[in-house]
Structure 1
Amino acid sequence: MTDSSTLLDAAQTAARLPYPALVAEITRLLADDSVQVPQRLVQPLAGGGSLFVMPASDSRVAMTKLITFTPANAGTARATIQGDVLVFDIASGERRLVLDGPTVTARRTAAVTLLAAQRLAPNTRGPLLIVGAGAQGKAHLEAFAEGLHVREVLIASRSASSAQGLAQHAQALGLQARVVQDANAALAECPLAVTCTPASAVILSAMPRQDGFIGAVGAFTPHMVELGPDLCRAMAARGTLVVDTADARHEAGDLLQAGLDVGQFDTLADVVRAGSGARAGPVLFKSCGWAGWDLAAARTAVAKRGQLA
């Protein structure tokens, strides 16, 4: 039987996933040898959508994320990502929580990018350029404001109303924010940048500053793309290129379409285990998503539930 303490809506899910705790749990998960993450199942749906089934477990918690991705919903009142994350206790087999899937996806993705920036970005002061003003853009804005104390944000989006709405949200958080028309030109004044678009076309092709960090999260299949191929090849040759997991070798559309051997690049786990600090020169962090990140969110939410009990 499901009750209000088990089935969480978007706001309740967000409250269980504060960014500092989520980043800390992601870091712990990367050192946890009990974590098992099978390859996710992606079922194509009529009309261009996809059903994602993403299980993962450790010695205490098992979870599965079930979400639909519907690109046709972009720019409408319907979310492009919808679904749930089901969390189970391994010892008893009991269902512990049902989390809002889009909220988990947005917050764990932003937390992963934040962790990468904390470990790799040469300059974390900002301003921050956000390309794409949807749920991921909002999550990254909030994560970087809280986790890196960024105070100035530039926003580029193909939707003027969405860009303005995100700018107003940033201002409500006490940040300086403005909308820009040319994301490539804005890179010159922003040492931090994240791309959070539907990944249907190249939206960033300029090289970042020498102290620049780009976190690219929109493209998570071989056919999706946000970054120009010349940018990707230049970062591989003259900068630092890190991927979120080894699964990126067959999912990172930006890098694959640039003809790069994705398996040669360090993963975020490699970075965390090495304990190294910021790199010299520009950094590109390519994130494709992984059920392990959802497991970290499930662990965070279960721990938070215990604190609230």
Structure 2
Amino acid sequence: MESVRQVLKMADLIPVIEKAMGDFSKGEEGGVVQPMRAVVPVKEHKGILYAMPAYSATSGALVTKLLTRFQDRDKIPVTGPRTTVCYFDHTNGDLKSIMDGEVITSMRTAAASAVATKYLAPKGPKILCILGAGRQARSHYQALHQICSFQEVKVWNRTLSRAQEFAAEYNSTVCETAQEAAKDADVIVTVTMSPTPILEHSWVKQGAHVNCVGACRPDWQEVSSELMQKSVVYVDSREAAMKESGDVLISKAEIYAEIGDLVNGTKEAFRDKTTVFTSIGMAVEDVVSAKLVYDKYVEQGE
């Protein structure tokens, strides 16, 4: 994990993710081959195995990510990584590298939110709200500060002590309720993995931008249906969102565009309206992130 963290820098990653999102939304012209991820449930242990393969012809990279999520993981000792990235030679199929995928997943997800924020945040955003205080909260703090110069960051977490730990590590104000944290925020990030809404429409000011990250299953919903229905909704992958995003499926909200459409200039970015970016996470983001890591090590002669 640390070896990946040493070479993967957010300033380098965000433009790479931006290009990958644009390539994906171009279809065949973009050179991205990305099937829907395979989902294998392990019901008796409340677990899921994801397999996420993708190929980017423009990047010259072929990758598969294997990821497990087990709700009972805290009750059973964890003996190895839960996310692994396999990097292949795209010219002959040789396995070139096996990487710990925890850092890659955390950073590329936040980088995608940063790209969405770049296009959709109101001009001159001053207040950032982060709902959640885990690994994704930290990576989003770092990524979004590459895009915006916030004057204040407010954080809320169901467990107050975790929010306090976050605030001690990052210059933030701890809020006792999600409503208090969201008040007057220009950019809001939800990274809680909550199965029920933790953000209501009435708490969000007109013209704010919301990055919804934690509701990555069709039966989970981080933001209210009213907020989804009354906002302009953007996604990373329309196909994936229509299959896996609880925020989209439960609310029956209309998807306006993919973020890649904004990158390519084929759809409008409504900065003056309330916008929501629902992030499911795309394998092509893992592809270009892993290539960045691999190329950095090659440059170092390793």
Q: Indicate the TM-score class for this superposition, using the shorter chain for normalisation.
A: 0.7 to 0.9
The match for 1:4 is none
1:155-174 maps to which residues of 2 (within 5 A)?
155-170=155-170
Structure 1 stretches of 4+ moved >3 Å: 72-79, 275-278
SS state of the match for residue 196, structure 2? strand
Deviation per CA, 1:200-243: give whole Å up to 9, x if none.
Answer: 221111342123111000011111111111111121xxxx2111
Deviation at 1:158, TM superposition (A): 0.7
SS state of the match for residue 214, structure 1? strand
d(CA) in 1 for partners of 2:119 and 2:13?
15
Deviation at 1:151, TM superposition (A): 4.5
For the 8 Å contact 2:155–2:181, the answer to whether it is kept is no
1:265 matched to 2:263: no
For the 8 Å contact 1:25–1:299, the answer to whether it is kept is no
Greater shift in the superposed pair: 28-37 or 280-289: 28-37
The match for 1:48 is 46
The match for 2:227 is 231
Deviation per CA, 1:223-273: give whole Å up to 9, x if none.
Answer: 1111111111121xxxx2111111111111012111234xx4200111111
d(CA) in 1 for partners of 2:77 and 2:11?
30
The match for 2:26 is none
With over 3 angstroms needed to count, the CA separation of the structure-2 counterparts of 1:278 and 1:257, relative to structure 1, is closer
Identical columns (%): 28
Q: 1:287 aligns with which of 271, 279, 288?
A: 279
Please, what TM-score do these two structures have when normalized by structure 1?
0.86
Deviation at 1:133, TM superposition (A): 0.7
1:64 matched to 2:59: no
Q: Which amino acid aligns with 1:28?
A: K
d(CA) in 2 for partners of 1:245 and 1:37?
10
Q: 1:248 aligns with which of 241, 266, 272?
A: 241
With over 3 angstroms needed to count, the CA separation of the structure-2 counterparts of 1:116 and 1:75, relative to structure 1, is farther
d(CA) in 1 for partners of 2:63 and 2:118?
27
For the 8 Å contact 2:117–2:147, the answer to whether it is kept is no
Deviation at 1:53, TM superposition (A): 0.4
The match for 1:129 is 129
Deviation at 1:40, TM superposition (A): 0.4
Please, what TM-score do these two structures have when normalized by structure 2?
0.88
Deviation per CA, 1:112-158: give whole Å up to 9, x if none.
Answer: 00010011111453321110111111111111123323342111001
For the 8 Å contact 1:226–1:254, the answer to whether it is kept is yes
d(CA) in 1 for partners of 2:78 and 2:191?
17
Deviation per CA, 1:70-90: give whole Å up to 9, x if none.
Answer: 2334799969x8221111111
SS state of the match for residue 188, structure 2? strand
The match for 2:150 is 150
**Aligned residues: CA RMSD:** 2.3
The match for 2:35 is 38
The match for 1:7 is none
Q: 2:299 aligns with which of 284, 295, 307?
A: 307
For the 8 Å contact 2:34–2:283, the answer to whether it is kept is yes
Q: Which amino acid aligns with 1:49?
A: G
SS state of the match for residue 105, structure 2? helix
Deviation at 1:29, TM superposition (A): 2.0
For the 8 Å contact 1:220–1:253, the answer to whether it is kept is yes
d(CA) in 2 for partners of 1:241 and 1:52?
25
d(CA) in 2 for partners of 1:294 and 1:215?
19
1:23 matched to 2:14: yes
With over 3 angstroms needed to count, the CA separation of the structure-2 counterparts of 1:49 and 1:232, relative to structure 1, is same
With over 3 angstroms needed to count, the CA separation of the structure-2 counterparts of 1:178 and 1:124, relative to structure 1, is same
Deviation at 1:165, TM superposition (A): 1.1
Deviation per CA, 1:23-80: give whole Å up to 9, x if none.
Answer: 111122234422211110010013211001000112321111001012334799969x
Q: Which amino acid aligns with 2:36?
A: Q
The match for 2:27 is none
The match for 1:88 is 88
SS state of the match for residue 122, structure 2? coil
The match for 2:98 is 98
1:210-221 maps to which residues of 2 (within 5 A)?
210-221=206-217
d(CA) in 1 for partners of 2:122 and 2:66?
36
Structure 2: any 5+ residue segments left out of the alignment? 24-29
d(CA) in 2 for partners of 1:265 and 1:78?
41
For the 8 Å contact 1:123–1:191, the answer to whether it is kept is no
The match for 1:298 is 290
